[in-house]
Amino acid sequence: MSEVTEKDVEVVMLAAMEAFHGHVRKMGADRGKPYFDTHLVRVAVRGSSNLERALGYGHDLHEDFPYDFSVEKMVEKGFHPVIIDGIVALSRKAEETYFDFIVRIGQRWFTAPWIVNVKIYDLEDNMEGGKEGSMKDKYRFARHYLQQIKRTMPTAQSFNSKGNKT
């Protein structure tokens, strides 16, 4: 599979910019400010690769706009397949509890660590400037859980072609 390029990032960024046009933040210090310009940009710039930056821009698309950003529509819009996989993985399913959602993301660490990284960036941004309370506690717990997975579990990239840890 081909590597995610800056052009792939731009495709997702422009789609998110259009989708979230007119939407504003509902919480935190930047409440009432444009959602794309605040949250999505901040999550994207934390990314250390084109893939993480693309997911930073697109992580809320499938969950917030399930019809416009179904897998089929994302393919039509030219999203890279690994970006589509990440966006879907970062979307909470209707029948999932929040805890089950976070556990499912944590289970992707071995094969797709970028998904866990982007969720941590998302959680950290959601916690910044917000008031203390149950929502911030929920995000803090989720971040701690995912960080523990990162600290204690290897990724597939940690092994060589013979299956030995590198």
Q: What is the pLDDT of residues 37-91, one digit of tens each?
A: 999 999 999 999 999 999 999 999 999 998 889 999 999 999 999 999 999 999 9
The domain segmentation of the chain, as residue ranges, is 6-156
Q: Which two tokens stand for residue 102?
A: 């976070």
6-156 adopts what CATH topology?
Hypothetical protein af1432 (1.10.3210)
Contact 98, 138 (CB under 8 A): yes
User: What pTM value is reported for the model?
Assistant: 0.91
Please state, in angstroms and rounded to a whole number, the distance separating the CA atoms of residues 108 and 101: 11
State the number of CA atoms in the 13 A half-sphere of 10 facing the CB.
3
